A and B are shown apart, each in its own frame.
Chain A
Amino acid sequence: MTPTREILWNIEAGWLVYPLTLAMLAGLGYGLWRRARVWRRGAGTGGRTDWQVRVRTLLAYALGQRRVVQSPFAGTMHLLLYAGFVGLFLGTLMVAAQEDLRVPFLAGGFYLFYSLVLDLFGGLAIVGLLGLAARRSLQRPPNLEPPSEGLSPPRSPFDRLRPFDRLRPFDRLRMSGAGSNPSGGRTPGDALGLALLGLVLLSGYVVEGLRIGATELAQHPEWAVWSPLGLLVARALAGLGLGAETFQAWHRPLWWLHALLATALLGSFGWSRLVHVFLAPANAFLRSSGPRGVPRPIADFKNPRALGAGAFADLTLQQRVGADTCVQAGRCQVHCPAAFSGKPLDPRQLMANLQHLSAQARANPDAEQASLVERALSEAGIWACTTCAACITHCPVLVEPMEVILDLRRRLVMGQGKLPDSAQVAMLNLQKRGHPWVGTRFSRTAWMKGLPVRQLSDLAEGESVDVLLWVGCTGALVERNLKTTRALAQLLAEAGVRFAVLGDEETCCGDPARRMGNEFLFQQLAKKNVKTLSEYGIKRIATACPHCFNVLKNEYPPFGGSYQVLHHTELLAALVREGRLRPAREVQQRVTYHDSCYLGRYNDVYQAPREVLAALPGSRQVEMPRSREQSFCCGAGGGHAFMEEKSGRRINHLRAEEALGTGAEIVAAACPFCLQMFDEGLKAQGGDGQVQALDVAELLAAGLGLKG
């Protein structure tokens, strides 16, 4: 006899499956449609649509779960649950295909294989589910908890799976400053979702066990072994003394229970957090295909509604979908330097609030007009963001809180002229003097004294250089950073690179303006610089500042400026590789490298600086607990190099503490702001001043015996 099974065996009125399915689809459809109505009121981003990139993002991040698995335990468990349900769903579709298309392909060897695979996929889902439930109830990671005062550090068998458990003591501090979180974290709804998933799986196995008990246990034991878990259930029930008739009698109601549970689960997706099953792919598809961390373009500065976001009504379609997609995983919160240091900003809470406002907008479109300030995020919170891109880098479903924060800033600054005093001073200086460093006593050419550095304006007719050294405001105007610029210029000269600088013709790249919310000023500066660079026909630029690097490389093309832009660590690594720079002096020291946000997360440059450090004879590199993509901001980004840090602990002190924990004698940086932050942070945390912060270029210059 060919192994198979009768579909809808033992079921009367099987046709009821169709209206049930229709009801499920209707529920699902309505649940999504009522959300889509709110999304459609959102403005388009006007960004370019690169279908290839969109599809690739969809495949990698939604189907492939690339981000989800980055959290090892939770990611693996989620992957099991996800794979299990996808398998079961496809299996159920095959059953439907056989029944409705009348193609009896579930027979013979294939049927047995099918039975085994489905049985095991259900098992995977159960393991995943139990793992996730255990994480929520036993491990209780703080990022899933509603924050409260005096939370004690969690203890659990899964502790060692947490990547940052070394930093656990700070959690307490972070919790105390993160504000209340009524809607985030473990809500009854989440538990219900998990419970419903569990019941669907459990009832499925019971139904399977009952069917096996009634039809295979005695008659075809050689078939039953292909459903090992179902067989287990059947044997257990048989062990309780159930006979074949009882199996059959119980089978029918439980089958319907299982069908109802599964239908209810799917039909209610639109009302639960499980809606992310549909929204995560949608959100991945909608993600901007442009460079990272760029706020949406503003086409018309005369339109006050186009200046960032002041109300929910100003949010774009993508931001609205993002708000609904957020699963409150809390990974943004774990990685956010503002939340971590006790500032009044918690990106998870921001998204929870937006989700709440989105629900209000579903009920009442007029609710969209109320201001987002305070309702989504406080003014202090809006200014606490360092634009480090950790939230957008770690979100498993590609939600971008940072982008919303930038929009909120833009409305405050351009719409209302409201910004913190220290930010205003820096921004006005940028406007008036083309650099943010108020009161500097240096001119842009002061650092060149005594060095054979040429300015483009001094080159002879027809003479050209290989590369323009873009010094940046900080490298030219802040005493500490002058040393880096001098070291770099000496290295380039040593390697025989033909380079020149713009000198007084250089002006701020515009990064602080854009990140502090003044897009208009950013564009003025960008256009001015593009004009200057075009006049000199510049094609290749190197810079020691990751902020200039990012802007020149990724954010000038829309203004007509496309250049090959190198960070100085990339250029130096190439020169070392080519043998044009050969550091020979022993550097008998332990070095830890700090990844700058704008070099790392924004531009994926992780290897070049490490390569240069590895070339220093005798030096030993040690990594901080958080490095590369996981790197923790120095605290200076988003205009914070110029702003007062008023609440919580100082971010640079936290990072300096982490660096000191490695036992390193030198903290290597590749960003002028990081360097300033470490200079201060190491002094404050290290006490004895034995540990130094140095730029990679300074270390390489020392390795070559070049004297500043």
Chain B
Amino acid sequence: MDIIVCVKRVPDPEAPASLFRVDAAGQKLVPARSVPRLTSTYDESALEAALQLRDQHGGTITLLSLAGEDVSEWLQEALATGADEAILVRDADLAGGDSFATAEALASAIRRIGACDLVLCGRQASDTDAGIVGPALAEHLGLPSASVVRKVELQNGTLRLERAIEDGYEVLEIQPPAVLTITSELYQLRYATMANIMAASMKEVVVWTKADPGLQEVSSRIRQRRLYQPQERSECELVKADTPHEAAVALAQMLRARGVI
């Protein structure tokens, strides 16, 4: 079973908000230099799902990433848990769009890779938390898809899925090829062995750009009006009164005057 896993490099989702700022143009969120850049959490689960399928059924795993900057070092390190190869679409134009544009770009890259049995994505990226790319990708590729999948198994050529829903999970069956978005409950990415780390360090990340055949212009559908950081303000007004009863009345009046109650 040949699997493509779409992965994204994101600023550490655990980094405190104080380490982020909005750029001068008010368009982008810029993390401080000290914020680590990591693989999006759910993408790690997607990779683990792929590794488990390959452990059982053989095949290959290809990591595919889209980025505006050179993240090949990160992508190569991501090979250390055992994926076979990595392709980076490095193009500021292709990567600069919204989720729909990203899905379009990834779809053209996947078509360029050729045949595959399964495309896995994280259920959503740890930075935008949109959860659009996976389903949109399926649409572009014309493949069946399921989102928020917590378990994938291959039985007699059919994919048997557990899809997380509010009060449990539902079991679905899909005929591959398909696009799935994976959630993290049951998939924790394995620990890289030294042998795999060493093997990964010998591999080269394949880099494509918009100039490569098959990759075309993409268009965004979402327009961002303004990005800003809310100002934190704290003021303190003390309610002065002689008795607790009077204080309560004064407080209630104060709150009503401000439209809080």
Contact = CB atoms under 8 A, between A and B. Distances in A.
A416 B193 contact: yes
B16 A418 contact: no
A442 B12 CA distance: 14
B140 interface: no
Contacts of A687: none
A427 B38 contact: no
A424 B190 CA distance: 9
A520 B18 contact: no
B191 A520 contact: no
A443 B19 contact: yes
A301 B202 CA distance: 14
B68 to A, nearest CB: 22
A520 B34 contact: no
A414 B36 contact: no
A134 B192 CA distance: 54
Contact of B198 (A301, A413, A416, A439): A301
Contact of B190 (A417, A441, A520): A417
B75 to A, nearest CB: 15
B143 interface: no
B194 A307 contact: yes
Interface of B: 12, 14, 16, 18-19, 32-34, 36, 38, 188, 190-198
The 3 A-B pairs with the shortest beta carbon distances in the complex, nearest first, are: A417-B191, A504-B34, A414-B194
Interface centre among A417, A424, A434, A520 (most CB of B within 10 A): A417
Contacts of A428: 191
A432 interface: yes
B16 A433 contact: no
A413 B190 CA distance: 11
Contacts of B33: 504
A438 B12 CA distance: 12
Interface string A410-433: 000111111101001001100011
Contacts of A307: 194
Contacts of A520: 194, 197
A424 B36 CA distance: 18
Contacts of A301: 194, 197-198
B190 A433 contact: no
A413 B194 CA distance: 8
A414 B193 contact: yes
23 contacts: A301-B194, A302-B198, A413-B191, A414-B193, A414-B194, A415-B193, A417-B191, A417-B192, A418-B191, A419-B191, A427-B191, A428-B191, A432-B36, A432-B38, A433-B14, A433-B36, A441-B16, A443-B16, A443-B18, A443-B19, A444-B34, A504-B32, A520-B194
A413 B192 CA distance: 9
A304 interface: yes
Contacts of A439: 14
Interface of A: 301-302, 304, 307, 413-419, 421, 424, 427-428, 432-434, 438-439, 441-444, 504, 520
A303 to B, nearest CB: 9
Nearest to A429: B14
B198 A442 contact: no
Interface centre among B14, B18, B191, B196 (most CB of A within 10 A): B191
Nearest to B194: A414
B83 to A, nearest CB: 14
Contact of A304 (B12, B18, B36, B194): B194
Nearest to B12: A433
A485 to B, nearest CB: 18
Contacts of B194: 301, 304, 307, 414-415, 520
Contacts of B191: 413, 417-419, 424, 427-428
B126 to A, nearest CB: 12
Nearest to B199: A302
Nearest to A505: B34
B31 to A, nearest CB: 12
Contacts of B16: 441-443
Given A415-B193, A417-B191, A417-B193, A443 B34 contact: yes
Nearest to A414: B194
A415 B12 CA distance: 28
B147 to A, nearest CB: 26
A700 B132 CA distance: 57
